[in-house]
Amino acid sequence: MLNFRKLKQDYSSAILKDGRSLYEKKMVSSAKIVTLDAQRVRLSCKVQGAFDKTYNCEIEIDRRESTTIDSDCDCPYKYDCQHLSAVLFYLEEHLDEIIVSYSKETDLGKDPTIDESEKETLRETFKEAETKETARRSKKLQKELLIEYVGASDVLGKSPFFLAEEELTEDKAELAVIFTNPAANANVPHVEIQLALRLPFRSKPLNIANIKEFLDAVCYQEPLYIGSKRYFFTLKSFDPEGTQTLRMLMDFARFPDAKEERNLRLAYIDLEAFGNILAQGYEMAISKPKMLNTSDDSDSDHQVLPCFYCGTLEEPLRYSGQSGQLRFELEYIEAASPKILINPTLIIDSSQRVTLPEVRLFECAKPGLIFQNIYYAY
């Protein structure tokens, strides 16, 4: 009916760009035909502007020539503004719908100002507009249904219920628990840990970027992506020490707020629970020390405790074959008033004496301590 490309030629490219932006933001709130005959059509429209203002626009168009006869907007710009430009973009999409609405509100038979030939022309216009609008709505509905079907298929396609059973090859790995040991005098109720994996085909360790996602995948035996590669880990992917450690981490790990990406790498273990995890690892280590000793140090009393690292992967946690012992020295003082002074110390490696502030004690069912990155049971 109208050549909108020709109608837009009266507007600058900047105005057309702003008008398209207003239209795409759905700022054209209404458009209604004021008058319609065989030669021209005049429309009244409302367009939302800045600061919640509504501008009234009117535009009269020559239907045969597709040129603007008259236009007006009550915005400060007035002439060929972005609001009128937005109206053109709106009419290009909705003019047939507007004409159909107008035809339902107008009774041509009772209008004496229109002759029969013009009435016939308008009836043809109404019929053409209704045909086009029906086709547009049908096309729009098909497009919406297609988008809905595609979206539904994406969702259902990712559901395990609809996926064909797939045989997953279990990846093997060596577990590394990197923990930050809080100072003995620090009022911190937990140990902060991160996880890394040593893989047979990879020279560098694989750091776990999302520790909760990893533990859930192992627990529920689901594949997961780390970086761009898919892995499939279960508890059987690890040696007995790694398996037991993972089981206890699943039971006791807590996770910080994940708003920061760094927090995804972290988990917190209460000091008591962490002490029990170390004790479990220590008991497994001393049951077969020769097999688990991966240290290059010739000192057999300080072998490597499997899976655990102090701060970095360069500093494995070692353990002593000798238990620590508590020693109490009592001093009786009579001066002024009788007092008994108790000075507790720890004896480690048979003869080395350390004070309590120098070590990290773990008060739990199987107590132990860490001194200079060496674990002692007592």
- Within a 13 Å sphere around the CA of 222, how many CA atoms are in the beta-carbon half? 12
Give the pLDDT confidence of 177-232 residue by residue, as tens digits: 999 876 655 677 889 999 999 999 888 999 999 999 999 999 999 999 888 889 99
Q: Is the predicted pLDDT of residue 298 greater than 50, yes or no?
A: no
Domain ranges of the chain: 4-142, 174-313, 325-377
When pLDDT is averaged across residues 250-279 and rounded to a whole number, the result is 90
Question: What's the CA gap between 318 and 229, in Å, rounded?
Answer: 33
Confidence of residue 259 (pLDDT cuts 50, 70, 90): confident
Question: What are φ and ψ of residue 304, in 5° steps?
Answer: -80, 130
- DSSP track, 85-154: HHHHHHHHHHHHHHHHHHHHH--GGG-TTS-HHHHHHHHHHHHHHHHHHHHHHHHHHHHHHHHHHHHHHH
- Any idea which of 57-71, 93-107, 156-170, 305-319 has the lowest mean pLDDT? 156-170
pTM above 0.85, yes or no: no
Three-state secondary structure call for residue 21: helix
Model pLDDT, residue 184: 56
When pLDDT is averaged across residues 64-89 and rounded to a whole number, the result is 89
Give the pLDDT confidence of 317-346 residue by residue, as tens digits: 999 887 777 776 777 777 777 888 777 888
Confidence of residue 289 (pLDDT cuts 50, 70, 90): low
